[in-house]
């Protein structure tokens, strides 16, 4: 009897283990392993409390809570009828700006209807006449007496009595006042196009004339006659929008256009990638020539009759000056603290008000990620960096008096932090490659105050799946370059067997995949492949970030060249290992990664037998001007670079199994890329598989869609690798 019971127990255990295998439906459709992270509140002025928007089935409320214990102190707004999507408190915390019915425009921008709520009087009023259309990004003045916003490409200002138009010439696809065009928002990571001065007297705003820019049409299916969404999209070498800056004087109701000096490089073909107000309420802004190798810092004083801008500092590069991820802030003495790569790594510098004295205040052979917060009273600067390795992001503090810095978060992995006002606390959102995200509240020294989210529930669910551990390692290329990598092996890995290998690649400038952070659904899909007997590998080749300027910028003017060499050599290294089946090596990538996976199978057909490319760039002439020209110059200046390393021109070299996927409504990497490559492959008489997701953008998201996409890729791998 005992033997029979033992056999039954073993059978039941076997069945249980089989049932606990991971699958795409649970990952993407049922979202069984998706973390429900807590909402991060907005700090109040005292730095001891935060406000948080809560939504229940039929009501919304905004509560005020204590950081120390998380207890609710008071409800400052509640409604059973208003569906609030977001909110902002005025600087004096007496009013709330409530956003409703928000809808996305581009990557960062949204528009919606706004209300103003007076906390003391408990009155709720629409910000504007809803019949005039939705509003883009309304913002209180620091004084709280006015609200600036954009609607229908024009700027407006409102007080308690009336609404005033700041501009009247705005028009869709022609003139944008206070907003951003597609390429500025996408490639400079800007979230808004206007900024209040600290004294509330002025509003600086972008004025963008995109009339001469070519239009891109996105076809939308599903109606009897298909519809089109059309927007301005400048491709490499083509006409860009003309961008200028203007300042509106609230007291005089007058606009002044910033006058540019004649000694700025590339003034007629240029960008203005950011602007700020300094401590003296003067406008400071950045200017890049079109080739993006000269960055000028300019200042203009709105108190002067003519708004003449003057250059007070410049940075130059033999390649490009990267500003898309740079940090800038002003100290009390009006000196500027900023990050720059001009000494070889992304370090922190201080520039005096006149721009005559610039010096590093944090220098080392590591890249700073960003400046997070400043405690001016204690002269402490908080920042995140990759000092502990390119794969890790940790929090540090820099003493501005002594120049010494020290680590605050010692755990290797990724720390995303948000400080409270006055820097008494910070929220630490932490994960590593084998541990899901946890969220905790810590004091400024890094001591735990309380745990906001434990990942224990997800850990418990994942523990039933017999998952493997990601491992970091290094590959040395034939050029003696050490490349960071991770590997995921099947849980029952046997070194005496031979396994197929799938490479996961991105490879674009400054972007890494070999990161010590939780990879969410993508990482779980890799686990699914490992359970099916595949080894998954990712390698950060030359051109990726967090390892200094030289490592990142070696790909300048020849995107795809070194990156492909490194992936091919990494694949050759893997094929030399005793437990790898060198006849079964594949590669998968998305966006720039789709470009790379395509190049890998076209240029490395002797190594890569299978490739999946999702939303790939297939020729750099198809991509936007700011991104492409930053790394490639213009097609006119770098004809050779544009002619090489394009999947479209290499289609005849395809030998293995290739799956090409794209969303038809991709406004970023247009489906034009895939259609051109499809045409080239057909003309070369090459067999391949092809799939289009109607009306889906660059991310191809959606519960049934994601499940379908990843199941399709899974089956392709099972059948062809």
| pLDDT, mean of each 10-residue run, the chain (721 residues) | 41 44 94 91 96 89 95 94 94 96 86 95 94 93 96 94 95 95 93 95 97 95 92 96 96 95 73 96 97 96 94 96 92 96 96 94 97 96 98 98 96 97 97 97 97 94 94 94 97 97 98 97 98 98 97 98 98 97 98 98 97 98 97 97 96 97 97 98 98 96 95 98 97
- Whether 154 and 136 have beta carbons less than 8 Å apart is answered as no
Domain coordinates in residue numbering, the chain? 38-143, 152-324, 469-720
What's the CATH fold of domain 469-720?
Answer: Rossmann fold (3.40.50)
Looking only at the bridges linking them, the beta strands covering 470-476 and 448-453 are unpaired
Q: Which two tokens stand for residue 191?
A: 């979230």
Summarize pLDDT for 606-615 with one digit per residue, the tens. Answer: 999 999 999 9
At 265 the pLDDT is: 59
Signed CA dihedral, 422, 423, 425, 427: sign only: positive
Cβ neighbours, 10 Å, residue 433: 21
Please report how the helices 592-603 and 561-575 are oriented relative to each other, as an axis angle in degrees rounded to 10: 60
Distance CA 447, CA 426 (A): 10
Cβ neighbours, 10 Å, residue 689: 14
Alpha helices by DSSP H, 320-417: none
Distance CA 548, CA 533 (A): 37
Residue with tokens 């906001």: 452
Question: Residues 6 or more apart from 381 whose CB is under 8 A from it?
Answer: 337, 348, 361, 371, 373, 374, 375, 397, 398, 400
Which residues, in sequence order, are bridge partners of residue 690?
660
Q: For residue 160, with 0-12 CB atoms within 10 Å meaning exposed, 13-18 middle and 19 or more buried, which class applies?
A: exposed
Signed CA dihedral, 317, 593, 469, 473: sign only: negative
Q: Encode burial over 233-248: b for 16+ CB neighbours within 10 A, e otherwise.
A: bbbbbeebbebebbbb
DSSP assignment, residue 456? Answer: H
Residue/partner pairs of 311-317 with CB below 8 Å, 24 or more apart = 311/261, 311/263, 311/264, 311/355, 312/354, 312/355, 313/351, 313/355, 313/358, 315/340, 315/342, 317/293, 317/342
Q: Which two tokens stand for residue 134?
A: 């939705």
Between the alpha carbon of residue 32 and those of residues 467, 527, 529, 659, the distances in Å are: 15, 15, 18, 28
Q: For residue 308, with 0-12 CB atoms within 10 Å meaning exposed, 13-18 middle and 19 or more buried, which class applies?
A: middle
Task: Return the beta strands (E) in 643-712 as ranges.
Answer: 657-663, 689-693
Are the folds of 152-324 and 469-720 the same?
A: no
Residue with tokens 């490659």: 433
- Whether 539 and 483 have beta carbons less than 8 Å apart is answered as yes
Summarize pLDDT for 110-168 with one digit per residue, the tens. Answer: 899 999 999 999 999 999 999 999 999 899 999 999 999 999 999 999 997 899 999 99
Question: CATH number of 152-324: 2.140.10.30, 3.40.50.2300, 2.40.50.100, 2.130.10.10?
Answer: 2.140.10.30
Looking only at the bridges linking them, the beta strands covering 499-505 and 535-540 are parallel
At 10 the pLDDT is: 42
Q: Which two tokens stand for residue 115?
A: 């209300």
Alpha helices by DSSP H, 367-519: 456-463
Summarize pLDDT for 322-364 with one digit per residue, the tens. Answer: 998 899 999 999 999 999 999 999 999 999 999 999 999 999 9
Q: Which two tokens stand for residue 354?
A: 């006149």
The pTM for the full model equals: 0.94
Distance CA 397, CA 413 (A): 17
């Amino acid at each position: 009897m005992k033997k029979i019971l033992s056999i039954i127990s073993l059978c039941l255990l076997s069945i249980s283990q089989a049932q606990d295998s991971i699958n795409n439906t649970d990952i993407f459709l049922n979202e069984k392993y998706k973390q429900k992270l807590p909402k991060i509140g907005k700090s109040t002025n005292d730095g001891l409390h935060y406000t948080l928007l809560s939504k229940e089935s039929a009501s919304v409320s905004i509560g005020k809570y204590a950081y120390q214990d998380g207890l609710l102190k008071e409800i400052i707004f509640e409604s059973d009828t208003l569906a609030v999507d977001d909110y902002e408190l005025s600087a004096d915390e007496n009013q709330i700006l409530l956003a409703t019915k928000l809808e996305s425009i581009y990557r960062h921008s949204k528009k919606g209807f706004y209300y103003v709520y007076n906390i003391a009087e408990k009155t709720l009023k629409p910000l504007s006449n809803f019949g005039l259309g939705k509003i883009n990004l309304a913002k209180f003045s620091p004084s709280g007496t006015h609200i600036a916003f954009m609607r229908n490409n024009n700027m407006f200002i409102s007080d308690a009595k009336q609404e005033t138009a700041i501009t009247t010439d705005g028009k869709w696809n022609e003139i944008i006042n206070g907003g951003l065009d597609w390429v500025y928002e996408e490639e400079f990571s800007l979230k808004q196009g206007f900024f209040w001065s600290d004294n509330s007297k002025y509003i600086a705003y972008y004025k963008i004339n995109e009339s001469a820019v070519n239009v891109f049409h996105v076809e939308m299916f599903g109606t009897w006659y298909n519809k089109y969404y059309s927007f301005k999209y400048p491709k490499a070498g083509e006409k860009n929008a003309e961008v200028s800056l203007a300042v509106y004087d609230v007291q005089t109701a007058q606009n002044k256009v910033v006058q540019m000096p004649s000694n700025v490089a590339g003034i007629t073909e240029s960008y203005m990638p950011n602007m700020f107000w300094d401590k003296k309420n003067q406008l400071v802004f950045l200017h890049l020539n079109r080739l993006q190798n000269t960055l000028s810092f300019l200042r203009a004083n709105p108190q002067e009759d003519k708004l003449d801008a003057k250059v007070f500092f410049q940075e130059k590069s033999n390649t490009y000056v990267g500003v898309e991820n740079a940090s800038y802030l002003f100290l009390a003495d009006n000196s500027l603290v900023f990050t720059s790569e001009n000494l070889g790594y992304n370090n922190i510098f201080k520039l005096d008000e006149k721009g005559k004295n610039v010096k590093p205040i944090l220098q080392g052979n590591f890249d700073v990620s960003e400046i997070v917060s400043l405690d001016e009273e204690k002269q402490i600067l908080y920042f995140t960096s990759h000092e502990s390795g390119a794969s890790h992001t940790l929090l540090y503090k820099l003493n501005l008096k002594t120049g010494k810095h020290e680590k605050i978060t010692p755990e290797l992995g990724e720390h995303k932090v948000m400080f409270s006002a006055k820097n008494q606390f910070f929220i630490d959102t932490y994960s590593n490659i084998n541990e899901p995200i946890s969220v905790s509240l810590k004091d400024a020294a890094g001591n735990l105050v309380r745990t906001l989210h434990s990942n224990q529930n997800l850990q418990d669910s994942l523990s039933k799946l017999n998952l493997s551990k990601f491992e970091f390692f290094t590959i040395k290329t034939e050029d003696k370059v050490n490349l960071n990598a991770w590997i995921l092996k099947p849980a029952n890995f046997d070194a005496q067997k031979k396994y197929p290998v799938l490479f996961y690649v991105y490879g674009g400038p400054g972007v890494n995949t070999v990161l010590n952070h939780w990879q969410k659904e993508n990482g779980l899909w890799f686990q699914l492949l490992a359970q099916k007997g595949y080894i998954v590998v990712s390698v950060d080749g030359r051109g990726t970030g967090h390892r200094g300027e030289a490592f990142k910028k070696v790909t300048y003017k020849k995107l795809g060249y070194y990156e492909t060499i490194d992936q091919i050599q990494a694949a050759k290294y893997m094929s030399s290992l005793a437990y790898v089946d060198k006849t079964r090596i594949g590669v998968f990538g998305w966006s720039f990664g789709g470009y790379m996976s395509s190049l890998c199978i076209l240029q490395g057909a002797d190594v890569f037998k299978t490739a999946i490319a999702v939303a790939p760039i297939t020729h750099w002439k198809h991509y936007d001007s700011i991104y492409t020209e930053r790394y490639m110059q213009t097609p006119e200046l770098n004809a050779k670079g544009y002619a090489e390393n394009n999947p479209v021109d290499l289609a005849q070299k395809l030998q293995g199994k290739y799956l090409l996927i794209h969303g038809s409504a991709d406004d970023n990497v247009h489906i034009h890329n895939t259609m051109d490559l499809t045409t080239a492959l057909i003309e070369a008489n090459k067999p391949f598989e092809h799939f289009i997701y109607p009306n889906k953008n660059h991310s191809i998201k959606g519960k049934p869609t994601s499940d379908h996409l990843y199941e399709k890729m899974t089956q392709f791998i099972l059948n062809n690798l």
